[in-house]
Structure 1
Amino acid sequence: MSLFEDTYFTIEKPTEGIFRDKGSKFIAYAFSFRDESSLKNIIADLKNQHPKARHHCWAYRLTTDRGVYRINDDGEPSGTAGRPILNVLLSKDLTNILVVVVRYFGGTLLGVPGLINAYKNATLEALSVADIVEKTVNDLYEINFDYLQMNDVMRLVKEENLTILNQNFDNKCSMELEIRKLQVNQVIRKLENMDGVSYMYLNTL
């Protein structure tokens, strides 16, 4: 990601696509995905929906870094399922996305080229009906401040159009803020000019 590139493309909401070949059915499910801890639940839900399916293969990408991904062939020959799914995500330049392809075996072996083609096309089918949206790369910060600074902090949130993810107001107040990458330096500068306000970088969303 270049210094001035702070946007990425992902999908707006979950979609499905189906590809069939020689009796086998491949059902692809695409999800907007930002939290790796939710992966287990998503896979478990799909296994409950499809208890008789032979394989549940998947790939996901996170962040704009093309090197942040995971793939899983779930018993298919190595490189024939997760990798073709991932390659579609890379070719379409989509990130913060998970695609799971559920396979029902039709009795006829497809061979390596056939499997690669099937997982690729199932993924393409799911993405062909997806709403592709452009989003900003945001950094997550925790800020801590005294209750007396509340008005100043809230004014900054409003001026900079920041998103509050969590907040806790007591004698000592804390807030988790989502700040667009390009705004970070400007916002930090303003925070540093406030008395009794501290901040900590958490991660990039």
Structure 2
Amino acid sequence: MEEKETVREPYRMVLEGGQAELVEKKSRFIANVRPVESEAEAVAFIDEMKKKYWDARHNCSAFVIGTKAELTRCSDDGEPSGTAGRPMLEVLLGEGVRNVAVVVTRYFGGVLLGTGGLVRAYSSAVKEGIAASKIGTMRYGVRLKICTDYNGIGKIQYILRQNGLEAEDTVYTDQVELTVLLAAECVPGLKKEITEATAAKAGIEEVEKLYFVAPDA
């Protein structure tokens, strides 16, 4: 019996890291966000920020690894327990961002913020850092190769347009070969439409399965 393929949910990831800064009662909070693929990368990034901001009072951190947030870590780095790392991690999880690390550096301004003030400041810094980063939605998809004769190309191009799709590549020989990338859940419907429109004369082959950056809706 054929095993049913696991449904892979879309997730958000940092395509390009960003930096943001805010000041709360004279304390400076500097958030640095970076995409990471592993715990080792996240730890290296955190160490890098600690060296860069060696003179700061605190370099608090959080990271999320895996498309389903399989690995999460956070550190208060000397702040009262639960006032920095955990709130920072909660922001990352709440934003649905994966494979990301953030370090919030604090230069103490001489005024105590209290527990609530610290939670708000560190959370706000991470939100600002995410806002300053380039974020993309990763969807699980399939790359299809569609082969057709010249009679069917017009019908197929129309179907693709109706589904909001564009061919990645089109090769014209004695036949026409189109390469299309689309979300996995849309594949059965597209195959059905093309098969019906071309009287099953078009060849459709699944070339590759992968995550890709989906355009914003």
TM category, shorter = 0.5 to 0.7
CA distance in 2 between counterparts of 1:40 and 1:47 reads 11
Query: In angstroms, what is the RMSD of aligned CA positions?
Result: 2.3
Aligned residue-pair number: 144
1:34-79 per-residue CA deviation (whole Å, 9 max, x = no partner) reads 1111233212221222121011111111123345311111111111
* Alpha carbons 1:10, 1:32 under 8 Å: kept: yes
Equivalent in the alignment of 2:61: 58
Which has the greater radius of gyration?
Answer: 2
Deviation at 1:114, TM superposition (A): 0.5
In structure 2, give the amino acid aligned to 1:160: V
Query: Which of 71, 80, 95 is residue 98 of structure 2 equivalent to?
Result: 95
CA distance in 1 between counterparts of 2:43 and 2:95 reads 25
| Residues 1:135 and 2:182 are matched in the alignment | no
Equivalent in the alignment of 2:13: 10
TM-score w.r.t. structure 1 length?
0.64
CA distance in 1 between counterparts of 2:50 and 2:37 reads 21
Does the C-alpha gap of structure 1 residues 68 and 36 become closer, same or farther in structure 2, counting only changes over 3 Å? Answer: closer
* Alpha carbons 2:16, 2:135 under 8 Å: kept: no
Superposition pairs of residues 77-88 of structure 1, within 5 angstroms: 77-88=80-91
Deviation at 1:136, TM superposition (A): 4.6
Superposition pairs of residues 171-186 of structure 1, within 5 angstroms: 180=210
Superposition pairs of residues 126-165 of structure 1, within 5 angstroms: 126-136=129-139, 160-161=207-208
Report the 3-state secondary structure (helix = DSSP H, G, I; strand = E; otherwise coil) of the residue aligned with 2:7.
coil
CA distance in 2 between counterparts of 1:24 and 1:14 reads 23
CA distance in 2 between counterparts of 1:57 and 1:66 reads 19
* Alpha carbons 2:17, 2:134 under 8 Å: kept: no
TM-score w.r.t. structure 2 length?
0.60
Query: Which of 125, 128, 149 is residue 128 of structure 2 equivalent to?
Result: 125
Deviation at 1:24, TM superposition (A): 0.5
Query: Which of 68, 71, 83 is residue 71 of structure 2 equivalent to?
Result: 68
Equivalent in the alignment of 2:39: 36
CA distance in 2 between counterparts of 1:45 and 1:5 reads 33
* Alpha carbons 2:63, 2:72 under 8 Å: kept: yes
Equivalent in the alignment of 1:105: 108
* Alpha carbons 2:12, 2:97 under 8 Å: kept: yes
Report the 3-state secondary structure (helix = DSSP H, G, I; strand = E; otherwise coil) of the residue aligned with 1:160.
strand
Deviation at 1:3, TM superposition (A): 3.3
| Residues 1:24 and 2:27 are matched in the alignment | yes
Report the 3-state secondary structure (helix = DSSP H, G, I; strand = E; otherwise coil) of the residue aligned with 1:134.
strand
CA distance in 2 between counterparts of 1:115 and 1:129 reads 21
